[in-house]
Amino acid sequence: METKLPKISEKEKEIMSIFWHTGKSMTSSAIAESGNGLSINTVQAAMRNLLKKGYIKVDDIVYSGTVLTRSYIPIISAEQYAAYQLQTMRANTLNFSTLNFIDHIVKNDDTTILDELEDIIKRKKELEDD
Protein backbone atom coordinates (compact mmCIF):
# COMPACT_ATOMS: atom_id res chain seq x y z
CA MET A 1 0.00 0.00 0.00
CA GLU A 2 1.60 3.23 -1.14
CA THR A 3 -0.25 5.72 1.02
CA LYS A 4 0.02 5.94 4.77
CA LEU A 5 -3.25 5.38 6.56
CA PRO A 6 -4.00 7.68 9.49
CA LYS A 7 -4.17 5.92 12.84
CA ILE A 8 -7.62 5.18 14.17
CA SER A 9 -8.84 4.71 17.72
CA GLU A 10 -10.29 1.50 19.15
CA LYS A 11 -13.82 2.92 18.83
CA GLU A 12 -13.15 3.84 15.21
CA LYS A 13 -11.85 0.31 14.57
CA GLU A 14 -15.00 -1.05 16.17
CA ILE A 15 -17.15 1.02 13.80
CA MET A 16 -15.08 -0.01 10.79
CA SER A 17 -15.55 -3.65 11.85
CA ILE A 18 -19.31 -3.12 11.83
CA PHE A 19 -19.11 -1.71 8.29
CA TRP A 20 -16.90 -4.59 7.12
CA HIS A 21 -19.13 -7.18 8.77
CA THR A 22 -22.40 -5.85 7.33
CA GLY A 23 -21.01 -4.94 3.92
CA LYS A 24 -23.62 -2.26 3.39
CA SER A 25 -24.22 1.46 3.69
CA MET A 26 -25.16 2.45 7.25
CA THR A 27 -26.33 5.47 9.22
CA SER A 28 -24.87 6.51 12.57
CA SER A 29 -28.06 5.45 14.31
CA ALA A 30 -27.98 2.01 12.64
CA ILE A 31 -24.43 1.52 13.90
CA ALA A 32 -25.41 2.63 17.41
CA GLU A 33 -28.33 0.19 17.32
CA SER A 34 -26.13 -2.69 16.13
CA GLY A 35 -25.85 -4.01 19.66
CA ASN A 36 -22.17 -3.26 20.28
CA GLY A 37 -22.91 -0.93 23.20
CA LEU A 38 -21.86 2.23 21.38
CA SER A 39 -23.83 5.37 22.18
CA ILE A 40 -25.07 7.54 19.34
CA ASN A 41 -22.78 10.37 20.52
CA THR A 42 -19.72 8.10 20.44
CA VAL A 43 -20.68 6.79 17.00
CA GLN A 44 -21.24 10.27 15.56
CA ALA A 45 -17.92 11.57 16.90
CA ALA A 46 -16.05 8.53 15.57
CA MET A 47 -17.81 8.78 12.20
CA ARG A 48 -16.74 12.42 11.85
CA ASN A 49 -13.15 11.36 12.52
CA LEU A 50 -13.32 8.43 10.09
CA LEU A 51 -14.73 10.76 7.45
CA LYS A 52 -11.87 13.25 7.96
CA LYS A 53 -9.28 10.46 7.91
CA GLY A 54 -10.64 9.06 4.65
CA TYR A 55 -11.83 5.68 5.91
CA ILE A 56 -15.50 6.26 5.05
CA LYS A 57 -17.52 8.48 2.74
CA VAL A 58 -21.10 9.65 2.48
CA ASP A 59 -22.99 7.17 0.32
CA ASP A 60 -26.51 8.57 0.29
CA ILE A 61 -29.09 10.69 2.06
CA VAL A 62 -31.77 8.41 3.49
CA TYR A 63 -34.68 8.51 5.90
CA SER A 64 -34.06 7.33 9.43
CA GLY A 65 -37.60 7.22 10.74
CA THR A 66 -38.97 10.58 9.61
CA VAL A 67 -35.63 12.38 9.51
CA LEU A 68 -33.23 12.66 6.58
CA THR A 69 -29.73 11.50 7.49
CA ARG A 70 -26.50 10.51 5.80
CA SER A 71 -25.57 6.91 5.22
CA TYR A 72 -21.91 5.99 4.93
CA ILE A 73 -19.81 3.28 3.31
CA PRO A 74 -16.18 2.34 3.94
CA ILE A 75 -13.53 3.45 1.46
CA ILE A 76 -10.87 1.23 3.06
CA SER A 77 -11.55 -2.50 2.99
CA ALA A 78 -10.76 -4.82 5.87
CA GLU A 79 -8.08 -6.41 3.71
CA GLN A 80 -6.46 -3.06 2.88
CA TYR A 81 -6.43 -2.13 6.55
CA ALA A 82 -4.95 -5.49 7.58
CA ALA A 83 -2.29 -5.28 4.84
CA TYR A 84 -1.31 -1.81 6.01
CA GLN A 85 -1.12 -3.01 9.62
CA LEU A 86 1.10 -5.92 8.55
CA GLN A 87 3.39 -3.60 6.56
CA THR A 88 3.63 -1.24 9.53
CA MET A 89 4.44 -4.15 11.83
CA ARG A 90 7.13 -5.40 9.42
CA ALA A 91 8.69 -1.93 9.23
CA ASN A 92 8.61 -1.26 12.98
CA THR A 93 9.39 -4.66 14.52
CA LEU A 94 12.86 -6.11 14.67
CA ASN A 95 13.08 -9.62 13.16
CA PHE A 96 9.42 -9.71 12.10
CA SER A 97 8.91 -12.63 9.75
CA THR A 98 5.98 -12.57 7.34
CA LEU A 99 6.41 -16.31 6.76
CA ASN A 100 6.17 -17.05 10.48
CA PHE A 101 3.14 -14.79 10.67
CA ILE A 102 1.38 -16.69 7.88
CA ASP A 103 2.41 -20.00 9.43
CA HIS A 104 0.83 -18.89 12.69
CA ILE A 105 -2.41 -17.99 10.92
CA VAL A 106 -2.74 -21.29 9.08
CA LYS A 107 -1.90 -23.50 12.08
CA ASN A 108 -5.35 -23.02 13.58
CA ASP A 109 -7.28 -22.68 10.34
CA ASP A 110 -8.52 -25.07 7.72
CA THR A 111 -6.81 -25.41 4.37
CA THR A 112 -8.92 -22.77 2.61
CA ILE A 113 -6.42 -20.03 3.41
CA LEU A 114 -3.63 -22.13 1.90
CA ASP A 115 -5.72 -22.66 -1.22
CA GLU A 116 -6.33 -18.91 -1.44
CA LEU A 117 -2.61 -18.20 -1.05
CA GLU A 118 -1.81 -20.71 -3.80
CA ASP A 119 -4.32 -19.00 -6.10
CA ILE A 120 -2.79 -15.59 -5.41
CA ILE A 121 0.73 -16.88 -6.09
CA LYS A 122 -0.44 -18.55 -9.29
CA ARG A 123 -2.11 -15.33 -10.55
CA LYS A 124 0.97 -13.26 -9.72
CA LYS A 125 3.23 -15.66 -11.59
CA GLU A 126 0.90 -15.61 -14.60
CA LEU A 127 0.99 -11.79 -14.64
CA GLU A 128 4.80 -11.83 -14.51
CA ASP A 129 4.92 -14.27 -17.44
CA ASP A 130 2.76 -12.00 -19.62
pLDDT along the chain (130 residues), means of 10: 80 96 94 88 96 96 91 95 88 84 76 82 87
Give the pLDDT confidence score for residue 110 in this predicted structure.
67
Q: Is residue 56 part of a domain?
A: yes
Same domain, 98 and 68: no
Same domain, 91 and 121: yes
- Are 55 and 76 in contact by the 8 Å Cβ rule? The answer is yes
What SS3 string covers 76-104?
CCHHHHHHHHHHHHHHHCCCCCHHHHHHH
Please state, in angstroms and rounded to a whole number, the distance separating the CA atoms of residues 45 and 52. 11
DSSP SS3 for 23:
coil
Q: Which of 102, 108, 75, 74 is nearest to 86 (CA)?
A: 102
Same domain, 15 and 68: yes
Give the pLDDT confidence score for residue 95 in this predicted structure.
85
Task: List the Cα angle 62/44/42 in 5-degree steps.
Answer: 140
Q: Is residue 3 part of a domain?
A: no
Last residue of a domain, one of 74, 90, 108: 74
Same domain, 23 and 43: yes
Domain containing residue 17? 10-74
- Are 83 and 1 in contact by the 8 Å Cβ rule? The answer is yes
Q: Which of 62, 33, 32 is nearest to 47 (CA)?
A: 32
